[in-house]
Amino acid sequence: MSARAAREPRAQAAPGGRAAALRSLAPWFSWWVVMAVSFGLTGWLAGGGQIDAKTAYVMAAGNMLIVALLELLIPRDRRDNLFRDRQSRNDLSHLLLFKLAFRPFAWAATIAIVGFVGEHWRSAQGVWPTHWPAPAQFVLLLLAFDLLGYAYHRALHAFDRLFWFHALHHDTRHVHMLKAVRVHFVEEFVSFLIVVPPFVLMGCPTSVLTWLGMWNVFESNLAHSNVDQRFPRWVHYVIRTSGVHYIHHSEAPGLQNSNFGGLPIWDLVFGTYRHPFDHPVVATGLRGDPVPPGFGAQLLFPFRALIRPPASKP
């Protein structure tokens, strides 16, 4: 039984015919097909080498379109439709604000940090095992990157003053692909400065970092998506399925404070893992709906909460 099944049954295909059979099988292949197609096209456009900015943006947009189409064809819950969600426009605005306005500042700050630390701490340079095969470097980076991300994500939930910046991502009653980009720009900015410079300082090749960036985009879109995805029990321990991450978006604090990682491994190591077969989700969002509905008010919300915190953390 999936986490969402406790709330309402999955959308069922109309009985009879080859189309119905395909729709019943599609959820078992949806994650694997989207990832294979996304990475395959990325590699083809990049010629098997370095991914340039144009390729990255084209594939990020293409992946979103693929996932959005699957949300229409094989939805997990027809109520979580991004085209009917009144917050979808705000979700896109948050994406554009960071990607177009603040990402250049984040890269400038990263370059400044790397330059300063590299000048005063030369022992940090050359640590990365560049002699390893590229796939091995990718796996190492994925694990190390996600460990830092796990620590930062858990801190956002542990400290109220940090949580109010993260609350925007959780304050939603509808979970679909656009919620992957519903993040306050300050949270994204700080996250970028925490997780990227250390690996640049250690000498991790830009090509490996770029491929990891594409993984994060493709995987996060699927983890937040309203696409019907089904897996054997063991897969939920290996990758962050939509069922695993859906638990983290639960309204119940006990479930919300779990499944922090982009990979389940660190939640398993630190005892914060919850399996979707064992922990059904009744509702998502934050109790009390503390985040205002307007885009401008959402940007100001965490700053106001620092001055005058809400009555209690949801």
Model pLDDT, residue 150: 98
Please give the pLDDT value at position 187: 93
Other beta carbons within 10 angstroms of residue 309's beta carbon come to 14
Q: Among 5-14, 47-56, 76-85, 215-224, which is the least confidently predicted range?
A: 5-14
Write down the pTM of the prediction. Answer: 0.89
Say if residue 13's pLDDT is above 60.
no
More confident residue, 221 or 172: 221
pLDDT at 123: 56
Give the span between the Cα atoms of 122 and 60, in whole angstroms. 35
| pLDDT for the residue 102 | 79
Q: For a pLDDT cut of 70, what percent of the chain falls above it?
A: 90
User: Would you say residue 142 has pLDDT above 90?
Assistant: yes
Angle at the Cα of 167 (from 151 to 280), degrees rounded to 5?
80
Task: Identify which has the larger pLDDT, 103 or 37.
Answer: 37
CB 256 within 8 A of CB 54: no
Residues 133-157 have a mean pLDDT of: 96
As a whole number, mean pLDDT of residues 192-203 equals 88
> If you average pLDDT over residues 256-271, what whole number do you get?
97
- pLDDT category at 5 given cuts 50, 70, 90 is very low
Residue 189, pLDDT > 50, answer yes
Tell me the per-residue pLDDT of 101-120, one tens digit each, with 9 for 90 and over: 877 777 778 778 777 776 66
Residue 6 has pLDDT above 60, yes or no: no
Those residues with Cβ within 8 angstroms of residue 47's Cβ, 6 or more apart along the chain or in another chain: none
Judge residue 5's burial from the number of C-beta atoms within 10 Å of its C-beta, 0-12 exposed, 13-18 middle, 19 or more buried: middle
276, pLDDT greater than 90? yes
pLDDT at 4: 42
Query: What's the mean per-residue pLDDT of the chain?
Result: 89
176 vs 53, more confident: 176
Kindly give, in sequence order, each residue whose CB lies less than 8 Å from that of residue 250, ignoring residues fewer than 6 positions away. 256, 281, 282, 283, 284
- Residue 80's alpha-carbon distances to 85, 169, 284, in angstroms, are 7, 16, 11
Whole-Å CA distances, 284 to 57, 172, 195, 256? 30, 7, 28, 9
User: For position 127, what pLDDT does the model report?
Assistant: 86
In the block, residue with structure tokens 């991502």: 169
Element (H, E) at 256: helix 253-256
What pLDDT does 129 receive? 93
